[in-house]
Structure 1
């Protein structure tokens, strides 16, 4: 009788382990998505690179830095797509310049890394002339930039997240 209980217990443990292994092999982990959209004050070193020719009595506080960072890391079981109106176009410049009749975009750069093996990142950073502009005007200017993050598992589970840049901006440590 004791031998039958041991055999039954061993069989039960084996079945549970096989079930656990099967479930974990079929489980597709959700991707890790990090999104950061900020307007920041310039550091002294950054302001040294800002050309201010043509401005009346400019100061460091007349400029801000805009940063957009999106990173997504996922397993090979995930199929993903990030959609922008056009990440490399001058849409960022057009958006910040749409506030008024002043050329507010000063300079900037963008970087994209898109590895099919599980990592994607989009980064843009630029300096803009912020004198006389409110936080609300900046948010409104970036309402023209929607983007979408889509991902799905090979089993067909699908997630779609829609964003508007103007809705996710954070103003860090500053008052405009």
Structure 2
């Protein structure tokens, strides 16, 4: 009789442990992609500056311009579908600085790339930074928000996230 009671307790304990390890936790762990953002601000090279049109500016030089390169990576996307990423409108942010009548966003480009289990979004643009400090540039980049949304493939649950775009900003000198 003791052996049967011990066997029943053992079986219940095993079921309890297996129940705690349900597949719901696995789906939840895979439903949120890991997000990383890296932003680098650096002066233009001579070659890059030679390709910048400076009409309308008086006595501009290479030191008056910087390139901003942002990389946003979503990892763990194999379990997701309908991934939407809305990146900040940097042109609007830099061209509408309070008490600044200067056009700051000169030109830019971007690319979106899907790879195995990750999506990579890059943006690169040239800024006219004469009269701006690194602190002001960082404040504008940090204030911007990235909005993401997706659907979990297994459960069809919709989810979304919003985070600061300027989390990791580095300034490089040449």
TM-score interval for Structure 1 and Structure 2 normalised by the shorter chain:
0.5 to 0.7
Query: What's 2:57 paired with?
Result: 55
1:39 aligns with 2:41: yes
Query: What's 1:65 paired with?
Result: 67
Q: Deviation of residue 57 (structure 1)?
A: 1.5
Q: 1:1-176 residue pairs with structure 2 within 5 A?
A: 33-74=35-76, 76-78=78-80, 81-84=83-86, 87=87, 91-99=89-97, 100-114=100-114, 118-143=117-142, 145-149=144-148, 154=154, 162-165=162-165, 167-168=166-167, 170-174=169-173
Structure 1: state its 5+ residue gaps: 1-18
Q: Deviation of residue 123 (structure 1)?
A: 1.1
**Equivalent-residue separation in structure 2 for 1:68 and 1:95 (angstroms):** 15
| Residues matched between the structures, number | 148
Structure 2: state its 5+ residue gaps: 1-17
Superposed CA RMSD in Å reads 3.6
| TM-score calculated relative to the size of structure 2 | 0.64
| TM-score calculated relative to the size of structure 1 | 0.64
**Equivalent-residue separation in structure 1 for 2:106 and 2:77 (angstroms):** 39
